[in-house]
Amino acid sequence: MTLRVPGLRVTLGQRKRIKVNGKRVNLPFTHKAMNIYTEGYSAVAETSFGLKVMWDGYSFLEVTAPHALNRKLCGLCGNFNGNRTDDFLTPKNELVSRPNVFGNSWQVGGKKACSREHCEFFYAFFIHLLDSAKM
């Protein structure tokens, strides 16, 4: 699972292997934009703007976003606008109906694979467990 905020790329990998900007870090990790710590059996990444991502290191992911991010998110977790019917938007802003098409559209690859011009913030969430398993 990769979370990007300005200046940081945080990868929450399998078995809770955590990387920040490509370098492995130990928890707790503190930065002005984000704190990463252990809570119970999970690693938690919490941003300075209130976004919280909890990852058990294997298969469970929970994202909590503050109301201030309403309509400002994009990615596999939807766009956070309260309308479930438009959550399957691809990075090209195309609405699809099949979950596998939607999921595959967000598969990460190159540097620009995760960006969307129409997102106000570049706080998109991407899960690609195969990449995480290679850590």
Question: Across all residues in the chain, what is the average pLDDT?
Answer: 80
pLDDT-based confidence at 40, cuts 50/70/90? very high
Q: List pLDDT tens digits, range 10-38.
A: 998 888 899 999 999 999 999 999 999 99
- Report the C-alpha gap between 78 and 1 in whole angstroms: 15
List Cβ neighbours of 49 (8 Å cut-off, separation of 6 or more). Answer: 66, 68, 69
Q: Give the whole-angstrom CA distance, residue 126 versus residue 3.
A: 7
- Phi, psi at 124, each rounded to 5°: -95, 155
Give Cα 42 to chain centroid, integer Å. 15
How many independent structural domains does the chain possess?
1
Nearest to 120 by CA among 82, 71, 85, 78: 71
pLDDT tens profile 103-133:
889 886 555 544 544 343 333 333 333 233 3
> Containing domain of residue 33, as a range?
2-133
